[in-house]
A and B are shown apart, each in its own frame.
Chain A
Amino acid sequence: MKGMSLIVKTITNIVIGFIFIFGVYIILHGHLTPGGGFAGGVIIAGVFILKFLAFGSGAKSEKKSLNIASIFESIGGLLFIGIAISGLLLAGTFFLNFLPKGTPLHLLSAGIIPFCNIAISIKVGAGLFSIFLALAAMKYVMED
């Protein structure tokens, strides 16, 4: 997959960090403000998609990125189920909010909800990024 022009590359280098930080902010404040795991995960997937579209890459690095994205998606799914099962083991109910609630309207509150947000963001972001890699960047299909 070919890269784009110099203007696009320079602008991408400038904005890419800000978009990533915005995605992390959306995830971590998911229980206080609009947003959450779904939106933040897709924004972080968008960072990597922007990088791939602007700079381009060879077939080898695409294969490697797909493998890494698959691993991260599995990690996200296992984290989410792990939180659910730890509720079952520690307190007796699947998906029980077993952590202390904290003071309302502060960052460290709401028990398991921030951790669920992080797990879902990893899962959704890695999944959508691997969909993009398989559909848009791979050269496999057009060879035959």
Chain B
Amino acid sequence: MIELYLFLAFMIIAAIVATEIKDLLSAVISLGAVGFSVAIMFILIQAPDLAIVQIVIEVLTIVIFIAVISRTTHIDETIGKKLSSTHICAIVLYAFFTILFLIVMFRSLQEIPDFGNPIMKIASEYIKLGLPKTGGANIVADVILDFRALDTLGEATVLFTSVIGVVALMRKSGRKK
């Protein structure tokens, strides 16, 4: 599993670059590097469904980000400015929250099973009954469209709402003085 650790390191370096670089276009491309390494890791942990969806969604995300940046500006003018008091306050708050979060995560990581040995109490039932009950060979499709179809209905509703929000916010009418 050495390649998994390599991609994890690459992902973290790309994430640091994406948050710290001055040019916003480079930041978006670094975000794309994070997304594609996530997609490759999905293949390495035997999740091809997730890898396909992650790759196509990542391409669309980069297209939308670049569309916004190309219509506005691509220089991050806030880097290198003098720190204001609110900014220092935010950094102190972040440091405090990080320590709290690490304590909680360390305690909860003791509870969840080790990497590579899941419990699979419900999943064994789904794997055993997936083909006889639904007839589909892809267990993930069986889970999202038959056993847990209401979950997918909720997802469709959220996507519909966000599309309505985007289209309504970008209209010209409704902004008349």
Contacts and interface: CB of A to CB of B under 8 A. Distances in A.
Interface of A: 26, 30-39, 42-43, 45-46, 49, 53, 66, 70, 73, 77, 80-81, 84, 94-95, 97, 101-102, 104-105, 109-113, 116-117, 120, 123-124, 127-128, 130-132, 134-136, 138, 140-144
Given A116-B145, A134-B166, A84 B134 contact: no
Interface in B31-89: 48-49, 51-53, 56-57, 59-60, 63-64, 67-68, 71
A140 B171 contact: yes
Given A37-B145, A112-B145, 12 more contacts: A34-B140, A35-B49, A36-B49, A95-B146, A104-B131, A120-B145, A123-B156, A131-B163, A132-B60, A134-B166, A134-B167, A135-B170
A97 B146 contact: yes
A140 B145 CA distance: 38
B105 interface: no
Given A49-B63, A111-B135, A31 B141 contact: yes
Contacts of A26: 52
Interface residues of B, number: 42
Contact of B53 (A39, A70, A136): A39
A101 B133 CA distance: 8
Contacts of A36: 49, 138, 140-141, 144-145
Contacts of A80: 152-153, 156
B166 A143 contact: no
A95 B149 contact: yes
Contact of A135 (B51, B166, B171): B166
A35 B136 CA distance: 13
B107 interface: no
A34 B146 contact: no
Closest 9 CB pairs of A and B: A101-B135, A136-B67, A34-B48, A31-B136, A110-B136, A110-B135, A95-B149, A140-B172, A42-B56
